[in-house]
Amino acid sequence: MATLFDLLSKGGPVMIPMAGLSVVTVSCALERAWFWFQLLRGEDRIAHDVLDAARYSLDDARAIAARFQSLPIGRFLLAPLQLNRPTPETFRLAMEAAGDQEFVQMRKGDKLLETIVALAPLLGLLGTVTGLISTFTNLNIGGGSSGADTSKAAAGIGEALIVTATGMVVAIIALAAFRVFVTLQSKQIDYFSKIGSELEVIYRHVWYESGVLNGDRHSTVADPVTSSHK
């Protein structure tokens, strides 16, 4: 801890906002990591349970999705299933609207990390300039520099290097976290699209086109087959 405070003091006044940026970066990265851990944990099993149930009973599929509505995949699949006998177009629109809302939550923190990636190197550059100004101010060229002047000049150079390095480290961490989260978002969008398409096909083929929804919604998968031969 003492070493950290020494580093902050040697980095000059620019290290104060730089320290704030580093705390914000780590906090945002940890919060997003926890979000994605909860999102991805058991997601595939939940999705396939809903799809399997939807082939036999929409009520069972809706119940499974409702049990996991604390997770994005549960809310995404529950949105169309809780509608009362929708058309396929309405069914798809409900999924798309729910998906858009979940993707907004997935992108949370992106703008903050992008800002830190751009701002941290600029603060490092500012620290470099202020450090060099301090160096040249304390360097009495041609006037016979004393040992104290030389120490102050060296401290100015050290300040410039410390702030520059810190700015680069903070920007690298923020950029790495940002790229990881963007990759996860892209994969999640593709996954939601795939699962949503499968659920829509099941709804359209098994329930809507077979005419089961014109009768009892609690019918099993055998009912569409029976009704189609009438």
**pLDDT at residue 225 is higher than 60:** no
* Helices 88-106/147-202 angle, 10° precision: 170
Of 196 and 138, more confident: 196
Give CA angle at 78 (75, 80), nearest 5°. Answer: 120
For residue 202, count other CB atoms closer than 10 A to its CB.
20
**DSSP string covering 41-99:** TTHHHHHHHHHHHHTT-HHHHHHHHHHTTTSHHHHHHHHHHTSSS--HHHHHHHHHHHH
The predicted model scores a pTM of: 0.77
Please give the Cα distance from 11 to 36 (Å, whole number). Answer: 35
Type of residue found at 182: V
Q: For residue range 8-34, what is the model confidence (pLDDT) as tens digits?
A: 556 567 788 888 999 999 999 999 999
What pLDDT, on a 0 to 100 scale, did the predictor assign at position 197? 93
Confidence grade of residue 125 (pLDDT, cut at 50, 70, 90): confident
